[in-house]
Structure 1
């Protein structure tokens, strides 16, 4: 294991770019592979999760390579053009990659086996396989629906109508990708709106997709078997990655940073809205659009934060940001209440349980609920000093390393290598801003 220790720092300052948005990076590779011609992608997140998706799409027949200018070239095979992979697709730690590609291959007449690491192999897949079976696909694996799973795709897919029972952009997107190679119109109803990156990417590549509000949710229709047009696109910076330097600046006196080119999709801005309600000094500068997504530069300065009750209906727009919000809450005055986030129980780890344990070990008062937690801060530095178990969860690791920047005692995470899945430059970028994150004593540099 690669233990990392974060120690107190004076201030966080500078102008940075964070890696490209992970959700958009996955989708750019997939959709480029389904288009005819050459799609060129700039700013792709080159973390393990996205690289595994690139390798999987190559195994399915696309030609994908990176040039010396860090641009990715995707020569697609067109709708209906995928071919059976020679071996299993190893998705590593990526639930997004696994679930989206299960959807994609389910309407092709061949078999595909999906495998992953220990964390991914413990995560639920039935939420995806159940609707995909309605297209005609078959799934073979363990009774509890975890990886490894073999998908036997159908040679005669039928369009479906499906009410998504849980708020999950991955489930919705898996169905939409299955619909690409299905004749007719597939209809999806989500009672709680989730991230619309797939809808935006479908529009960008020319898929006939219509989104209509209904009963507080959304109805999405996809017309199958389109001819997709190759595109050039710039992936916006990932707001989930930006969240870590943002909170680092907010809790560290004297800090002033600017983060360029951050995606501000309305379905992804829940953390920034919440932090501003807590008193955060965050400005959105140079607002514009990239590949159908709203984008801006963020300026963030140290702020005194006050506790709030986070609206439960905001959870889908910030589900990945709850761990780092917990760190901000630990520095806020009063009790911050987070409910309606039961989805955290089935992420890379049980994020509610592990955050409660880690915060408590660092001397922070926290109360656990089935669907969230309440964190009480005094507006002062917490004690810190713990060795925190990450359970192969990259966001847990980064969150506690941010805590260590302003706690009385250094904070160590048991495995910093997991950060590679989403933010491979995290340590160097943070240290460049003034952080002090180093290998723990005895750990490899």
Structure 2
């Protein structure tokens, strides 16, 4: 599948229980950061388990354009020979980040305090997404940004020649914004301080510490205060990327709603800032267990065992959990459709500015499939009628959003009439083996010629 090529219509249908082992790819968030920090270190960083989806491959290309040497070895491992903090060269070409909001925002932060000019662009989805949430705090360092109306790509960033350290309070929970500011702070003198009122995924802080940065984290009345001392010499690392919990969500959730299913998903990263979905599912009554708990590469890891769960109940998912599962709400809304009662998602305004307006995309598709749904600016309610209750039959619009496409394909595995998506090609950006993996478990997913009108 190609997220940059022709649309690929797909449809999934119920066919019986899912069973077996689902070896999902490496964590996308950690993969991006490993490449970027490897490029900012001095020496060779070795990476195993890197996600080789299009989003991460676009970040690898970008690091090469900035002067780092990035290689993939025959055994699947990667090496990054970095250029040092502040050592990025000015690229000769536009940096195309494809579909990746994480990639473009983190790269903007990494180059923002280098005296270079860089033009960024992306695919039809990425150029619609707002960049001001990152460029506004980067301007405090002395960085300049010129883009389309609304702060959108294509955009040229002129790095600060004489950057100054900043103190910045993140206005909404966003690991991308926090990380961009911290990466920019690496090449600024003195101490850069980021304050987040609500904790978001902390992969950047963990990895910066691993690379030798002087970074402290303090819990205060203001919130979580992260202090970074600028201009360190980052030391190359050997990084083992755990498997992606956001990708694991799809085989896990499919197993919970397809009768008779029993699926093991090994080696999943359970960083507490990323594991909100799995605890939410357990609260709903899912038969989901964590086995072989351990630590790999500084991250907590476990094997997830998911079994069909016909007795799940609707719950209220609190707003303070949103940051730890923001990418998983689309597939959670699918599970909620097969639970009994109302499941309410609160504090999820961030979903409206992801690869698509994920709230509206799921509302439209679920209603077309016969599910009762309601939503507002920052909330969504799914009224489930229990196992076997979802009619399906619709062809839903993916809006160039990989998680929307995969969520509706999971829905189709348990809906009575199956479910289609107008374009499954964006799945390749984060989970390039989704289709064969789900088929190997017993799922019926097929590519087809569109005949129905998308919902």
Which TM-score tier does this pair reach, normalised by the shorter chain? over 0.9
Within-5 A mapping of 1:293-442: 293-304=299-310, 305-381=312-388, 382-441=390-449
User: What is the DSSP-based 3-state SS (H/G/I as helix, E as strand, rest coil) of the residue aligned with 1:24?
Assistant: helix
Whether the 8 Å contact between 1:308 and 1:336 is mirrored in structure 2 is yes
Asked if 1:116 is matched to 2:122, the reply is yes
Q: Report the alpha carbon displacement of residue 380 of structure 1 after superposing the two structures with TM.
A: 2.7
- Residue matched to 2:29: 23
Residue ranges of structure 2 left out of the alignment (5+ in a row): 1-6
Select the residue among 142, 145, 151 that pairs with 2:151.
145
Whether the 8 Å contact between 2:195 and 2:222 is mirrored in structure 1 is no
User: What is the DSSP-based 3-state SS (H/G/I as helix, E as strand, rest coil) of the residue aligned with 2:108?
Assistant: helix
Residue deviations 1:6-27 (CA, integer Å, cap 9, x gap): 0102111111210111000000
Within-5 A mapping of 1:212-223: 212-215=218-221, 217-223=223-229
Residue ranges of structure 1 left out of the alignment (5+ in a row): none
Once structures 1 and 2 are overlaid, which stretch shifts more, 318-327 or 290-299?
290-299
User: What is the DSSP-based 3-state SS (H/G/I as helix, E as strand, rest coil) of the residue aligned with 1:327?
Assistant: helix
Whether the 8 Å contact between 1:208 and 1:223 is mirrored in structure 2 is yes
Residue deviations 1:320-359 (CA, integer Å, cap 9, x gap): 0000000000000111111110000000000011100000
Work out the number of aligned pairs and report it: 443
Whether the 8 Å contact between 1:5 and 1:437 is mirrored in structure 2 is yes
- Residue matched to 2:4: none
- Residue matched to 2:17: 11
* Aligned Cα root-mean-square deviation (Å): 1.0
User: What is the DSSP-based 3-state SS (H/G/I as helix, E as strand, rest coil) of the residue aligned with 1:76?
Assistant: strand
User: What is the DSSP-based 3-state SS (H/G/I as helix, E as strand, rest coil) of the residue aligned with 2:42?
Assistant: coil
Whether the 8 Å contact between 1:332 and 1:377 is mirrored in structure 2 is yes
Q: Report the alpha carbon displacement of residue 291 of structure 1 after superposing the two structures with TM.
A: 2.0
Q: Matches of 1:266 and 1:204 in 2, distance apart?
A: 18
- Residue matched to 2:3: none
Q: Report the alpha carbon displacement of residue 145 of structure 1 after superposing the two structures with TM.
A: 0.4
Whether the 8 Å contact between 2:369 and 2:393 is mirrored in structure 1 is yes
Whether the 8 Å contact between 1:259 and 1:299 is mirrored in structure 2 is yes
Asked if 1:76 is matched to 2:82, the reply is yes
Whether the 8 Å contact between 1:162 and 1:187 is mirrored in structure 2 is yes
- Residue matched to 1:130: 136
Whether the 8 Å contact between 1:204 and 1:291 is mirrored in structure 2 is no
- Residue matched to 1:244: 250
Q: Report the alpha carbon displacement of residue 84 of structure 1 after superposing the two structures with TM.
A: 0.5
Q: Matches of 1:87 and 1:59 in 2, distance apart?
A: 8
Residue deviations 1:169-213 (CA, integer Å, cap 9, x gap): 000000000011111110111111111110011011111110101
Q: Report the alpha carbon displacement of residue 369 of structure 1 after superposing the two structures with TM.
A: 1.5
- Residue matched to 1:38: 44
Q: Report the alpha carbon displacement of residue 216 of structure 1 after superposing the two structures with TM.
A: 6.6
Q: Matches of 2:189 and 2:132 in 1, distance apart?
A: 24
Once structures 1 and 2 are overlaid, which stretch shifts more, 137-146 or 177-186?
137-146
User: What is the DSSP-based 3-state SS (H/G/I as helix, E as strand, rest coil) of the residue aligned with 2:153?
Assistant: coil
User: What is the DSSP-based 3-state SS (H/G/I as helix, E as strand, rest coil) of the residue aligned with 1:5?
Assistant: strand
Q: Report the alpha carbon displacement of residue 41 of structure 1 after superposing the two structures with TM.
A: 0.6
Q: Matches of 1:77 and 1:337 in 2, distance apart?
A: 47
- Residue matched to 2:172: 166
Q: Matches of 1:422 and 1:353 in 2, distance apart?
A: 21
Q: Matches of 1:364 and 1:81 in 2, distance apart?
A: 53
Select the residue among 176, 186, 191 that pairs with 1:185.
191
Whether the 8 Å contact between 1:265 and 1:294 is mirrored in structure 2 is yes
Q: Matches of 1:276 and 1:216 in 2, distance apart?
A: 31
Instruction: Tell me the TM-score normalised to structure 2 length.
Output: 0.96
